[in-house]
Amino acid sequence: MTLMRVKLGLLPIMAALLMQGPVRAQGSADNTLLEMRDAFRRTQTTVLTSLLPRMRGHVLEPMAIYWEARARMDTATPSELRAAMARMAGSYWEDRLRNDWLLQLARQRDWAGFEIELPQYRMNDDRQVQCYALLLDASARRKPSDEAARQVASLWLAQRDADDGCTTAAKAFLDSGHLKPEVAWQRARLAMESNRPAAAAQAVQQLNPEWATMADTIASNPARYLDEKITAFRHRTKELVTLGIIRLASLDPAAAARELDHTRWKAQLTEEERSWLWGVIGKRMAQTAGLQDQALAAFANGQDRHMHADHLAWKARAGLRAGAWGHVRDAISAMGDAQRQEPVWVYWRARATQALKEPDVLTAQIVASGLYRSIAGGTGFYEQLAQEELGRPVSAPPAPAPVSPQELATAQAQPGLQRALAAIRLGLRAEGVREWNYTTNLHTRGGMNDRELLAAATLACQNEIWDRCINTSDRTREVQDASQRYPMPFRAQVLKRTGEIGLDPAYVYGLIRQESRFITDARSGVGASGLMQVMPATARWTARKIGLTDYQTHQIGDRDTNILIGTAYLKLALDDLDGSMPLAAAAYNAGPARARAWRMGPVLPGEVWAENIPFEETRDYVKKVLANTTQYAALITGQPQSLRARLGVVGPSTHPESYTRDLP
Return the active site residues: 515
- The C-alpha angle 615, 619, 621, rounded to 5 degrees, equals 115
Pairwise CA distance, residues 518 & 32, whole Å: 29
Among 409, 377, 407, 394, CA closest to 477? 377
> In b/e form, how buried is each residue of 516-543, taking b as 16+ CB within 10 angstroms?
bbbbbebeeeeebbbbbbbbeebbbbbb
Cis ω on the peptide bond leading into residue 359 (within 30° of 0)?
yes
Other beta carbons within 10 Å of 112: 8
Among 263, 247, 266, CA closest to 255? 247
Q: At residue 130, what is the residue type? A: Q
Pairwise CA distance, residues 573 & 566, whole Å: 11
Among 123, 208, 42, 180, CA closest to 442? 123
Q: Would you report the helix, strand and coil content of the chain in percent, each value rounded to 5?
A: 70, 0, 30
Pairwise CA distance, residues 305 & 288, whole Å: 24
Pairwise CA distance, residues 629 & 509, whole Å: 7
Among 207, 174, 169, CA closest to 188? 207
C-alpha dihedral (377, 379, 380, 386), degrees to nearest 10 = 30
> Is 484 in contact with 454 (CB distance < 8 Å)?
yes
